[in-house]
Amino acid sequence: MSAKAKKILVVSSHAPYGKSTARESLDAVLAASAYEQDLQLLFVGDGVFQLLKQQDTSATGAKNLAATLPVLPLYDINDIYVHQQSLDQRQLTAADLVLEVKCLDSRQVAALMDRQEIILSF
């Protein structure tokens, strides 16, 4: 990471497949990883559904997002956060997810946003 690395948060708030936004957020994160910025990723709202285990898109024609998400650490993206209340509302726990994530309560999400210079919203 360069000394001038900018703090950038990608907020991903859409469920996969119904709309292309979730896929596009992941593409943006992967492209961004090459730029050596201080990149962080937050899943919130329906965005947490992207992380659900056992997704199988073989009968829908969509690219399986859950198959790609586990590569994020290989791209040096390790600051991956999930909004705990979004999980709770959907009766999900960290054990239901394909990635190891850091769960944040609402106050911590606000604090995470406060630490950023740029937010890329999806």
Interacting residues with other proteins (CB under 8 A) = 6, 8-9, 11, 13, 20-21, 24, 27-28, 31-32, 34-35, 37, 44-45, 83, 85-86, 106-107, 109-111, 113-114, 116-122
| Closest CB to other proteins among residues 42, 97 | 42
Sheet of 38-43, strand order: 102-104, 80-83, 38-43, 7-12, 118-121
| Residue 40 phi, psi dihedral angles, 5° rounding | -130, 155
- CA distance linking residue 25 with residue 11, whole number of Å: 8
Query: Considering beta carbons, is residue 2 or 58 the nearer one to other proteins?
Result: 2
Shortest gap between Cβ of 116 and other proteins (angstroms)? 5
